[in-house]
């Protein structure tokens, strides 16, 4: 069974940092691109970042560019999101999701999704 | 303000058919980029529902169908069931933003 399990969320003060992790199992992790998508409380879905299978290609939403860093460790079947300079508007449930193929294409989709981890940015 | 526009809510009685629209522009749906759909049941993560405008992943009932025309796409659900009550999101790619974009979501209520 394909499974994605996020961890690392929590309460952090504005300007602080947090590192999210996503543990993958049930599929060949190194053969797929991976993504982070977030959902603010009571709001819709927002794409955050994507990374190709070999980490050669990385993409960020403008809202997080320069503050967040996506990375992966194929040997550990893990995806990461380093979040710096956090703002109140970054408060959301962060989901990791598998991409469509090895590279990140415009026709990219997100399937499956993890259960999400809540990040709360508040003083 | 989402790049892809969906109605905030739709409703229907059990057994009925409902449609959810997703309206974009010439930089996303109208540019030929595929539309995908997701279902989010209350308190759970989104689930992949339709890919490539009109294709169902294995395990998705054929009561769910998708279509695309011009700058819009639609999700149709026939034979409504109580368990279909959820939020539904469309997703595509926007070349002006160089970003993957979602609609604002539509809450389906089964009366």
Q: How confident is the prediction for chain B on average, in pLDDT?
A: 97
Q: State the number of CA atoms in the 13 A half-sphere of A109 facing the CB.
A: 22
- What are the backbone angles phi and psi of residue B84, rounded to the nearest 5°? -80, -10
The Cα of A51 is separated from the nearest Cα of chain B by a number of Å equal to 13
Q: How far is it, in rounded angstroms, from Cα B100 to Cα A107?
A: 9
- Give how far A5 is from chain B: nearest CA, Å: 12
Q: What pLDDT shows up at residue A6? A: 98
A57 touches chain B (CB under 8 A): no
pLDDT of A70: 98
Q: What is the pLDDT of residues B49-102, one digit of tens each?
A: 999 999 999 999 999 999 999 999 999 999 999 999 999 999 999 999 999 999
Nearest CA in chain A to B57: A111
Tokens 């003083």 — which residue? Answer: A123
Chain B closest-CA separation from residue A96 CA (Å): 10
A-chain residues near B27 (CB < 8 A): none
State the pLDDT at residue A23.
98
Integer Cα distance of A116 and A37 in angstroms:
9
3-state secondary structure of B29: helix
Which helix (H) or strand (E) segment holds residue A95: the answer is strand A92-98
Predicted pLDDT of residue A19: 98
Question: Considering Cα of A118, then A121, then A122, then A123, what sign does the dihedral take?
Answer: positive
State the pLDDT confidence band at B1, using cuts at 50, 70 and 90: confident
Q: What is the pLDDT along chain A (123 residues), one digit of tens a residue?
A: 999 999 999 999 999 999 999 999 999 999 999 999 999 999 999 999 999 999 999 999 999 999 999 999 999 999 999 999 999 999 999 999 999 999 999 999 999 999 999 999 999
Instruction: Using the structure block, give the residue that is written with the tokens 């009925």.
Output: B16
Q: What is the pLDDT of residue B104?
A: 98
CB B66 within 8 A of CB B35: yes
């Amino acid at each position: 069974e394909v499974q994605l399990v996020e961890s690392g969320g929590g309460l952090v003060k504005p300007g602080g940092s947090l590192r999210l992790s996503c543990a993958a199992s049930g599929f060949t992790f190194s053969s797929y691109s991976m993504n982070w998508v977030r959902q603010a409380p009571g709001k819709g879905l927002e794409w955050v970042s994507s990374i190709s299978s070999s980490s050669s290609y990385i993409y960020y939403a403008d809202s997080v560019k320069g503050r967040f860093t996506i990375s992966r460790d194929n040997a550990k079947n893990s995806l990461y999101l380093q979040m710096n300079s956090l703002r109140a508007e970054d408060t959301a449930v962060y989901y990791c999701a598998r991409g469509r193929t090895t590279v990140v294409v415009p026709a990219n989709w997100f399937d499956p999704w993890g259960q999400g981890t809540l990040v709360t940015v508040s003083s | 303000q989402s790049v892809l526009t969906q109605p905030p809510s739709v409703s229907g009685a059990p057994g009925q058919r409902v449609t959810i629209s997703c309206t974009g522009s010439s930089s996303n749906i109208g540019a030929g980029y595929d539309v995908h759909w997701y279902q989010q049941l209350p308190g759970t993560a989104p689930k992949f529902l339709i890919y490539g405008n009109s294709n169902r992943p294995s395990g998705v009932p054929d009561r769910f169908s998708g279509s695309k025309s011009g700058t819009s796409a639609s999700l149709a659900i026939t034979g409504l069931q109580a368990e279909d009550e959820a939020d539904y999101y469309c997703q595509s790619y926007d070349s002006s933003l160089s970003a993957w974009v979602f609609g604002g979501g539509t809450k389906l209520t089964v009366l």
